[in-house]
Amino acid sequence: MVILFAIGAAFFYGFSDFLTRVGLRRSNAQSAVLFSTVSGLLAPLVIALYTIPVSQFATRALFFFVLAGIIGPFIARYLLYVGIERLGVSIASPLANIKPAFGALIAVLFLGEKLNAPIIAGTLVIIVGVTVIGRERSGGQIAKKWSRKDLIFPILASFCYGLTAIMRKVGMNITPEPMVGVVVQNTAALAVLILLTPVQRTHLRVNYRDRRAWFIFSLSGLIAFFAHYCTFFALSLGLVVIVGPLVSLNPFFALLLAVIFLRKEERVTGKILLGAAFIVGGTAILAWVS
């Protein structure tokens, strides 16, 4: 059951990343964050109102879910969207999936999960994959070049996602109800986004004019909701070092969709594929030994 839900989360995350890339052709990262966050909150909120007792929300778990919402769906997603905008999904998505390494390290330090030689090996394989992708100058995009300093965005996103997994796991240990976690974290993410909107620079502000982009980003957020739910459910049953690597298989889905539907904008080169293979291979090792 843990493996099924974790892989399901990987599929939905990959699909969401792909839709975001499509939407970014017409709009910007700030718009993607806003519309996807709103749509990603509405669905679980409606479901929770009819299925979850209010008492489920009155626990210490809320603190950790709020942190997860600020670090993950807000900060990490924004960094990832900027990375996708500047690098393309074929580079940004695999790079963002160093998160199993960060998640495993934090889990060992703060949750007492065990670190052994195979886990270290899997982490090193992931790092090799990141290095290979970082050396690819084509950038995975036909339309424009990119700067290597832009790699910092998906890498920082991966750290935030790794930390978010820990916050979610701690919260689920207190209140093992996935929908509570999804609602609270997405509410926190939206609240922070709204509070920061007035201080955004002009070029980073939300574009409200393109309704087609609204729809695409909203659909991306809805798909991300399914990914979040699967992730929370998997974490309620399994360990971070198992769930994290499996969820990180989403580059396969994102790359596949990019190759099929974005051929004019995305070029998946040999180095990018090799790097992605290393990353996925590393996560597979971590999953196998866990």
Note the pLDDT tens digit of each residue in 117-169. 887 787 788 778 766 766 554 444 444 566 778 888 988 988 998 899 999 99
User: Any idea which of 22-26, 126-130, 170-174 has the lowest mean pLDDT?
Assistant: 126-130
3 state DSSP class of 240:
helix
**For the whole model, what pTM was predicted?**
0.79
Residue 238 near residue 286 (C-beta atoms within 8 A): no
- What span, in angstroms and rounded, lies between the C-alpha atoms of 190 and 273? 35
Tell me what the pLDDT averaged over the chain comes to.
81
> Residues with Cβ < 8 Å from 252, sequence gap 6 or more?
10, 14, 276, 280
* Average pLDDT of the residues in 195-209: 60
Residue 34 near residue 193 (C-beta atoms within 8 A): yes
Residue 47 near residue 6 (C-beta atoms within 8 A): no
Of 234, 276, 283, nearest to 255 by C-alpha is 276
Q: Which long-range contacts (CB under 8 A, 24 or more apart) does 108-116 make?
A: 110/166, 111/166, 111/169, 111/170, 111/240, 113/239, 113/240, 113/241, 116/289
Give yes or no for residue 16 having a pLDDT over 50: yes
Compute the half-sphere exposure of residue 63: CA atoms within 13 Å on the CB side of its CA: 5
Q: What's the pLDDT at 142?
A: 44
With residue 105 as reference, give the H or E element that holds it: helix 99-106
* Average pLDDT of the residues in 59-66: 93
Q: Which has more confidence, 97 or 59?
A: 59
- What span, in angstroms and rounded, lies between the C-alpha atoms of 92 and 211? 25
